[in-house]
Structure 1
Amino acid sequence: MAWKVERAVLQDGWKTRLIVDDRGFDLHPEAMGFVVAMEAAERSPNTVKTYLAALAGFLNWADVQGVDWRTVNVLDLTRYKRHLQEEPSRTGRPRSTATVGLSLTAVAEFLRYCASDGHIDPVVANRLVENRWVHPKGRRGAGESGQFRRARINALRVNLIEQPPEVLSEEQVAAMRSRAASARDRFLLRVLHDGGPRIGETLGLRTEDVHLLPNSRSLGCAVAGAHLHVNRRTDNQNGALAKSRRPRHLPVADVFVADYRDYQHERFMRFGDRQSGYMFVNYEGSAVGQPMTYSNVYKLVTRLGRSCGFRATPHMFRHSAATAWVEAGSDVDVVQALLGHASPASTAIYLHASDERMREAVTRVHAARGRRA
């Protein structure tokens, strides 16, 4: 028997993912409770999916190794960490350090949930963390007061190798747009590339969120100029969920307006007045007219990238937008606001200096020294 993740629709219509065995499709009861806890905390559908996939992998490893996950210890999890690092994934490729770290995080959160809900002894979850003495910021003198905080023990930490995010060039985006089969697809690429929203935010957009007038006060909006609003909604038909709980708006350029008008004309010619309020809807299949899903958009973007001869994913557009804003000289706090990051640390990954910019900085300093000599 092996554990796997399957989509499920419960009696009340709730759609989610669950861990079941591959023989009788029996639910893993504690994993079911973990899903409920994540849903209650409004974790995004992608987070739930990713955590469950990592948890199913751990449960299968534990069964093969004869390890009782209910009494797992640090040595067991260290062995599992080594397994993740040394054994290839299902695709045959080695796992990245980020993937290993995420898998360990998912397992640790599951065990903490089980401990808090009485499924396992709290001692099991407490083994995974340790108290660390932290000095007050900027004060390291002897005798100064500090505080304890709980942190993952070193054996289960993964040192991430920071690398610049993978981005798409302007030429690559233009090539994908030229191969797009519809105005909808071209507008979708425009939204992803120019605004940098997350895919969950993009799929949750409604037509009412787009304000293209110079003054939108008649719509009850005080934001000047053309823009779109990113709002968190928990009742989206396609399960899309904005990660950030804070609404924000994204300014848009004239080319955005032109693409939007082309798309709206195309939609009207297909559906007339019987249109969904969702911004991006399916044109084909049994779900025609209904909001697009993550799977729809992922397949569309990856297919366009392959047809152009390179790799492309929806999230790469977000990386590309952020990198372009930084390289254009935008302040970090502006980029943070545009991306909807709660912490500046999340924006910091886009601050990697390119080889060209580093060379330019050194050359500029030496040129200034030469003028003073």
Structure 2
Amino acid sequence: MAHVPVLFGHKGEYRREANRFLRERATLTHREDAAFELSLSEAPVGPRPLTLKKYADGLHNFFNWCNQRGHDWKTINYKTIIDYQKEMESGAWSTQNRPLSPETANARADIATEFLAWAALRSIRRAFHVRTKPRSPSHGARHPVGRLPRKTGALEPVRAGRAKTSHTKDLLKNETLPSPLVIRDWLLTVQRKYGYAKYLACRFILETGVRSIEAINLVETKQARQLPSLAEIQDLARKGARAVQIDLVVTKGGRPRTIDLPLDFALELRQWADTKRPTLRYRARMRTGRAPGDAFFLSDAPKFEGTPISYATLYKVFRKTGPIRKFSPHIGRHIYACFFLLRSLDMEAQVRGGNLKSQHPDWIHHRGDWYLKLLQRQLGHLSDETTFTYLRLIKGAIAIADVATNWHLNLSEDI
């Protein structure tokens, strides 16, 4: 329990119930109802210290709000949670009265809701009824922090009244897409500054559009190999295949899916996995005295050889050296989707006897929407809001359509 934060009130009092919740949250014993069963049969891994800190910060903020507004958390209902969320959105409850982002308001309200539901389950407070609505396959709202997927794989209802969010707003603020050559130069910078292993992990996201959590949870063991063997990849190449398929097991929402990976990049990953990765595992064992992890992407940084590359590390690499403002693994995922669209639309336009620049915007919108539906399996989900954002970016990026046609080749050229 040493990594679990401890909360105290504004008068220095020990917040017994909140701290009990954090301890149970850390050990995943905070829920007893069937809706929160694990999708895996083996023992779960508890949340990371950073996640627990977010919970503690969120609860601290909620208790302060209750104190300032004269609310007793043991008697309030769900409508009060919506009031709390709206005050954060409007800036009535924030530092310097500045409106908070919908993502921040939702996350804090989610934490408060989960705590109150837990307290009611433990008979610490009166019953707490949360209004929910069904989650559609295209729903763009995020799961509450740390929420576990249902065992059945069904789409979990979402908390009603959550603020509308946009996962593509940072990309939209940049107005234009970086060209494939700019992305390629950025990857070269990553390789030079952070090493070959992190370059491979970053490029994997840009080549497939997977989430960072899905990339770092790829595994490579003698018993479980997600990337095909060298012989299998070479056999696919002889047959004229342009991509290999990989089964993603750890995904957002707990729903496994199969994705396509360009064959030439799959070959580069396989060669690294068969040559340099075993060396990294050996160095990790010699340095720590323990068996190294099974994660596919292992660090090659001095003194950290063989350590699994984490989400925080990937985020740092994207943000600190990215070619556009607020670059992140999630933005890299969007860029992959946009260039997939550009490439697909340009190829179809050529079949029609023209090029993408000569096509009517309505044709681009109609055909782009169709190609985005093809992307759903690769990306895992696609909301209507994301669809329109991509199409808006595509309409403004026609000028780079010629280079985008060979997106994967541009990423690998001269690397």
Tell me which residue corresponds to 1:99.
104
How many angstroms apart in 2 are the aligned matches of 1:151 and 1:250? 27
Aligned pair partner of 2:392 in 322, 340, 354: 354
Determine the structure 1 residue equivalent to 2:327: 312
Distance in 1 separating the partners of 2:185 and 2:122? 52
1:340: which partner in 2?
380
**Distance (Å, rounded) in 1 between the aligned partners of 2:199 and 2:306:** 18
Letter in 2 for 1:102: A
- Aligned counterpart, 1:134: none
TM-score, L = length of structure 2 = 0.59
Give the letter aligned to residue 380 of structure 2. Answer: G
SS at match of 2:253: coil
Tell me, in whole angstroms, the C-alpha distance in 1 between the residues paired with 2:113 and 2:200.
41
Structure 2 residue corresponding to 1:29, chosen from 17, 20, 25: 20
2:171 partner SS: coil
- The structure with more strand, counted as a fraction of residues: 1
CA pair 18-254 structure 1, distance change in 2 beyond 3 A: same
Aligned residue for 1:158? 163
Give the TM-score normalised by structure 1: 0.64
Hey, what does 1:142 align to over in structure 2?
none
The one-letter amino acid of 2:318's match is V
Change (3 A) 1:228 1:91: farther
> Where does 1:289-308 land on structure 2 (aligned, <5 Å)?
289-305=306-322, 308=323
Q: Is 2:265 the counterpart of 1:260?
A: no
Equivalent residue, structure 1, for 2:59 = 55
Give the letter aligned to residue 334 of structure 1.
L
Matched, 1:183 2:193: no
Asked if the contact 2:319–2:328 (Cα under 8 Å) also holds between the matched residues in 1, the reply is yes
TM-aligned CA deviation for residue 41 of structure 1? 4.2
Change (3 A) 1:356 1:314: closer
How much is the aligned-residue C-alpha RMSD, in angstroms? Answer: 4.4
Aligned-residue identity in percent: 19
Select 1:70's aligned residue among 71, 74, 94. Answer: 74
Q: Is the 8 A contact 2:81 2:112 kept in 1?
A: no
2:367 aligned partner: none
Give the drift of 1:90: 7.0
1:166 partner SS: helix
Shift in Å, 1:192: 0.9
Tell me the residue number matched to 1:324: 339
1:83-94 pair list within 5 angstroms: 83-85=87-89, 86=91, 94=99
Rounded to whole Å, the distance in 2 between the matches of 1:248 and 1:130 is 27
Q: Output the amino acid matched with 2:269.
A: Y
* 1:278/1:71 CA distance change after superposition, 3 Å: same
Provide the aligned length of Structure 1 versus Structure 2. Answer: 306
Query: Given the superposition, is the C-alpha separation of residues 29 and 277 from structure 1 closer, same or farther in structure 2, using an over 3 Å criterion?
Result: closer
Is there any run of 5+ residues in structure 2 with no aligned partner, and where? Answer: 40-45, 134-156, 236-240, 286-291, 346-369, 399-415
* One-letter amino acid of the structure 1 residue matched with residue 75 of structure 2: T
The answer to whether the aligner puts 1:120 opposite 2:116 as a matched pair is no
Measured against aligned partners, the alpha-carbon deviations of 1:140-199 in whole angstroms (never above 9, x if no partner) come to xxxxxxxxxx9967xx55355786562763344223212123221221111111112222
2:329 & 2:158 partners in 1: Cα distance?
Answer: 33
Unaligned runs of 5+ in 1: 1-7, 10-15, 132-149, 219-223, 233-241, 361-373
Cα displacement string for residues 330-368 of structure 1 (whole angstroms, at most 9, x for unaligned residues) = 634431111223xx6x465234321663999xxxxxxxx
Q: Which protein, 1 or 2, shows the higher relative CO under an 8 Å CA cutoff with sep ≥ 6?
A: 2
* Aligned counterparts of 1:309 and 1:51: Cα–Cα separation in 2: 31
